[in-house]
Structure 1
Amino acid sequence: MTHVRVLMINAYGTGGIARTVVNLANALVERHEVEIITVYRRRNRPAYWIDPRIEVTHLVDARKSALTQGVGSPHADLARQPSRLTTALDSNMTGLTDKLLVASLRALSPGILITTRPSLHALAADFVPADVITIAQDHLNFETRTAHPELAHLMERSLPKLDALAVLTEADARDYEHMLRGTDTVVTAIPNALPWPVRAPAELTTTTVVSAGRLVEQKGFDRLIEAFAPVASAHPDWQLHIYGMGEKRPALLGLVGQLGLGDQVRLMGYSDSMAEVLRGASIYAMASRFEGFGMVLIEAMSVGLPLVSFDCPRGPGEIVIDGYNGYLVANGDVAEFSRCLLALMDDPALRARLGGASREAARGFEMAPIAQRWDVLFADLSARRRARG
């Protein structure tokens, strides 16, 4: 049984990375000894269920009670200092995390370590013992990840020292293979897995378009609302429901009011039962400006929703097959996005055909085949290590 450790910033949080990483750990524990090392613990209980067989180790107790008790301590002083080992671009990293992470990484026994963001990739490259197999799992697309020169340099410096890099799309794998040509680092694409098995299909009889994500600039909900406006006037019985919380909520509410869509566009807030939300809709729409993958697209597919998505970098282009399980729209073409929504609203048979194809395609994203791809990677890297002696 292989000892697999997953190093992440916050295993207790509600973000997409926390959810997908915890889901993966829950699957791997069926065949491996799994430990989650979380830099921060910011709440009493994790937002997502963690299998009790998984050991969870936190380095910094950032709950309010712990922070209050630590005022004036040496740790508190270190926590106010910037990281000297990674990058100032990562606000999670401090002098305190430098100290604790270096000690933790140096003490690792043989096994596999999966890191989940550039700062952690860099620390693993510099401080993990030689008998630990290191895998960087990156959750953001290549273009966005390398747009800042400092972050690009961090990746170029650290990734060649690691055994493997696992990214979420084939397009990202090609870009990183080019960056890492001439190195021994294995680059592979392993998508995120569904958090649940493929479900009973949605009936597709409601007059609801659904979308979900953090209410931030990246997710493009302003573009979605603008695309829905001409559709709403043609179909006053249809509604757009947007799930999620975030800083753009006031601006989005203002846009809804400005376009006169108050009766048809609703900001629904956070839901902890997205599978049921999706089963109650008839179309899923994604208007993101960029993505690491597009997790909610495969969740919508699992209940048989037809998709409409911008072909943003990256993820949708490898999930949405235009005209088969939905429509893939040139990034930023709001008018075409409107036309695709309208086509699905007007044609129940088209919704059923594309939705059925969505649900079948979702089976490739169930946890069993994705976990198997991780097992193959582990075996391959172990064999490479043995071959090198």
Structure 2
Amino acid sequence: MKKIAFLIMNMENKGGTERVTSMIANALSDKYQIFIFSCQKGEKPHFHVDERVSIESLHGEQIQNTVLRKVKVYRELANKAKKYEIDIIVAVDVALYLYLYPLQLSKKCKCIAWEHFNYFISPNRMVKFGRKLAAKHADCVVVLGKNDMQNYQQNLSKIKRIEYIYNPVAVETTGQIDVNSKQIMAAGRLEDQKGFDLLIDAWNLIEQDCPEWHLDIFGEGSKRGNLEQKIKDLGLSRVFLKGYANNIAEKLQKSSVFVLSSRYEGFVLVLIEAQANGLPCVSFDCKEGPAEIIKDNKNGFLVKNGDVSEFAIKLKRVLMDDRLRERFARHAKDDLARFDIANVKTKWQKLIESL
């Protein structure tokens, strides 16, 4: 039985990366011996992890000095890779591939770099450097969609191997949602990336024209205060910052429309969850992801990235037209099989067996 390890920054975080990692690790645990190595903390994961999956912390949080912390994490990782005779390590983020590179040079194990941003987004220099290094040396770089694979191929001259594997979505639906609940939903971290300031600007243009509707934004983040002030300054009465939601699927099932206002994305998990629940969607056509999920004017609207006025126009059309919402809802679940956990698991297995 092959031994597969996932290297992640902090498995105790509540983000999409941790959620997807737990899903993939759980799915693969019936065929492989799975480990999750968390650079910091991680032994009390927020998301469910199968009892067959071993989680161990590399205790990076114990060291304050940045350089010494990285040295400690690498040594802990190398020791565990040797102790457990790991066959393949998956870096959950191309920046973490920097820890894998020395192991790969010494041929201790096979290494996969799993991209979680789109190619054009580099939150820091480590991501940008890790991306180029992984493309050249990793046994495989896994990206989140066809478009991003093409971005890699068009912008990097040396790529050892690249595959795209969609992130999985596993949601329990209650059947057809109520497209007349008059609730619009958005969800994500309250940060610049998610563009909730743009969404509020768009809502400001149509709130008076849609008196029965309200907008609920789920999530927390550093921009809460800014967004609260913006809502107050604009005098909006039917947009609410609802805070973090433990059960997004439950919130989706009580909504009629889902909106995505991000300036950029890697893989929009919540957008697929919305479609899996039969929700019509309005989204900016940001890089990268929404265009692989929304078919414009079939199951939702794609709007030129950052065009607040057009976003408001398209959202108003959806809110004011019952038949349009119903048509979008009927097609929302089309072509979602590619995101099913069983299909995603099969692609990961094929990759693992090919190394």
Q: Which of 242, 246, 257 is the equivalent residue of 2:217?
A: 242
1:213 aligned to 2:188?
Answer: yes
Q: Which of 195, 201, 213 is the equivalent residue of 1:226?
A: 201
Query: 3-state SS of the aligned residue for 2:333?
Result: helix
Aligned to 2:55: 56
Deviation of the 1:289 alpha carbon: 0.7
Give distance in 2, aligned partners of 1:97 and 1:372: 31
Query: 3-state SS of the aligned residue for 2:131?
Result: helix
Deviation of the 1:350 alpha carbon: 1.1
C-alpha spacing 1:199/1:302, structure 2 compared with 1 (3 Å): farther
| Residues 246-265 of structure 1: pairs in structure 2 closer than 5 A | 246-261=221-236, 263-265=237-239
Aligned to 1:29: 29
Q: Deviations over 1:192-227 (max 9, x none)?
A: 111325552212110011000010111100000111
C-alpha spacing 1:61/1:180, structure 2 compared with 1 (3 Å): closer
Give distance in 2, aligned partners of 1:98 and 1:3: 19
Give distance in 1, aligned partners of 2:155 and 2:310: 35
Aligned to 1:69: none
C-alpha spacing 1:161/1:105, structure 2 compared with 1 (3 Å): farther
Give distance in 2, aligned partners of 1:151 and 1:281: 36
Deviation of the 1:149 alpha carbon: 5.9
CA-based RMSD of the aligned residues comes to: 2.1
- Tell me, yes or no, if the aligned pair for 1:83 and 1:98 is still in contact at 8 Å: no
Give distance in 1, aligned partners of 2:155 and 2:303: 29
- Tell me, yes or no, if the aligned pair for 1:36 and 1:57 is still in contact at 8 Å: yes
Give distance in 1, aligned partners of 2:319 and 2:134: 49
| Counterpart residue identity of residue 112, structure 2 | I
Q: Deviations over 1:270-301 (max 9, x none)?
A: 11111110010010000001111111100101
Give distance in 2, aligned partners of 1:115 and 1:287: 29
Aligned to 1:296: 270
Deviation of the 1:364 alpha carbon: 2.6
1:163 aligned to 2:147?
Answer: no
Structure 1's unaligned 5+ residue stretches are 63-75, 85-92, 382-389
Give distance in 2, aligned partners of 1:123 and 1:177: 24
- Tell me, yes or no, if the aligned pair for 2:220 and 2:244 is still in contact at 8 Å: yes
1:143 aligned to 2:117?
Answer: no
Give distance in 1, aligned partners of 2:6 and 2:114: 10
Aligned length: 354
Give distance in 1, aligned partners of 2:225 and 2:231: 10
Deviation of the 1:377 alpha carbon: 1.6
1:14 aligned to 2:14?
Answer: yes
Aligned to 2:168: 193
Give distance in 2, aligned partners of 1:163 and 1:331: 35
Q: Which of 280, 283, 303 is the equivalent residue of 1:306?
A: 280
Aligned to 2:354: 380
Structure 2's unaligned 5+ residue stretches are none
- Tell me, yes or no, if the aligned pair for 2:181 and 2:256 is still in contact at 8 Å: yes
Aligned to 1:45: 44
Query: 3-state SS of the aligned residue for 2:241?
Result: strand
| Counterpart residue identity of residue 271, structure 1 | A
Deviation of the 1:303 alpha carbon: 0.5
Q: Which of 101, 104, 112 is the equivalent residue of 2:88?
A: 112
Give distance in 2, aligned partners of 1:161 and 1:105: 19
Q: Deviations over 1:63-93 (max 9, x none)?
A: xxxxxxxxxxxxx5xx222237xxxxxxxx6
Deviation of the 1:362 alpha carbon: 2.7
Deviation of the 1:105 alpha carbon: 4.1
| Counterpart residue identity of residue 53, structure 1 | R
C-alpha spacing 1:202/1:4, structure 2 compared with 1 (3 Å): same
Query: 3-state SS of the aligned residue for 2:39?
Result: strand
Give distance in 1, aligned partners of 2:34 and 2:124: 34
**Between the two proteins, what is the percent identity of the paired residues?**
30
- Tell me, yes or no, if the aligned pair for 1:37 and 1:56 is still in contact at 8 Å: yes
Deviation of the 1:103 alpha carbon: 3.3
| Counterpart residue identity of residue 37, structure 1 | F
What TM-score does the superposition give when structure 1 sets the normalisation length?
A: 0.85
C-alpha spacing 1:58/1:336, structure 2 compared with 1 (3 Å): same
Deviation of the 1:100 alpha carbon: 2.3
Aligned to 1:285: 259
C-alpha spacing 1:279/1:151, structure 2 compared with 1 (3 Å): closer
Give distance in 2, aligned partners of 1:264 and 1:322: 27
Give distance in 2, aligned partners of 1:151 and 1:296: 23
Give distance in 2, aligned partners of 1:278 and 1:132: 42
Further displaced range: 265-274 or 188-197: 188-197
Query: 3-state SS of the aligned residue for 2:151?
Result: helix
What TM-score does the superposition give when structure 2 sets the normalisation length?
A: 0.93
Aligned to 1:68: none
- Tell me, yes or no, if the aligned pair for 1:106 and 1:127 is still in contact at 8 Å: no
Aligned to 2:2: 2
Q: Which of 58, 65, 84 is the equivalent residue of 1:81?
A: 65
Deviation of the 1:154 alpha carbon: 3.6
